[in-house]
């Protein structure tokens, strides 16, 4: 699994093709290779990035984490 930190933006998580999001009161399944997780705290769709980082002057370096 790889997690990429976008410069001044979200964490891109490699899903392997499918992501199941379980939360209080429900569950959603997304079929996509990557999901973007908010790391700025401004998203209205947490835990997912909704692009709000662009309007809050969020600054963080790029990086990559490989697991396994
Ligand atoms: S990182 Fe994109 S909205 Fe927070």
Task: Report the separation in Å between the CA atom of 56 and the middle of ligand 1, taken as the mean of its atom positions.
Answer: 9
State whether the beta carbon of 38 lies less than 6 angstroms from ligand 1: yes
Per residue, what are the HEC states of 21-51?
EEECCEEEEECCCEEEECCCCCCCCCCECCC
Q: What is the CATH number of the domain that holds 58?
A: 3.40.5.90
The mean pLDDT value of the chain amounts to 95
- For the chain, what is the domain count? 1
Decide: pTM greater than 0.85.
Answer: yes
CA distance 18 to 32: 6
CA distance 8 to 29: 27
Ligand 1, pocket-test mutation among 38, 46, 48, 63, most atoms within 8 A of CB: 38
Give me the mean pLDDT over the 28-36 stretch. 94
The pLDDT, as a whole number, for residue 43 is: 98
Find the domain containing 62 and state its range.
Answer: 2-66
The pLDDT, as a whole number, for residue 44 is: 98
Residue 1 has pLDDT above 90, yes or no: no
Number of helical (H) and strand (E) elements in the chain, helices listed first: 0, 6
With residue 6 as reference, give the H or E element that holds it: none
């Amino acid at each position: 699994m790889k997690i990429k930190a976008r410069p001044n933006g979200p964490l891109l998580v490699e899903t392997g093709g499918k992501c199941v999001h379980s939360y209080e009161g429900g569950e959603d399944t997304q079929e996509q290779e990557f999901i973007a997780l908010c790391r700025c705290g401004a998203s209205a769709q947490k835990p997912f990035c909704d692009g709000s980082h662009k309007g809050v002057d969020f600054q963080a370096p790029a990086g990559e984490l490989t697991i396994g």
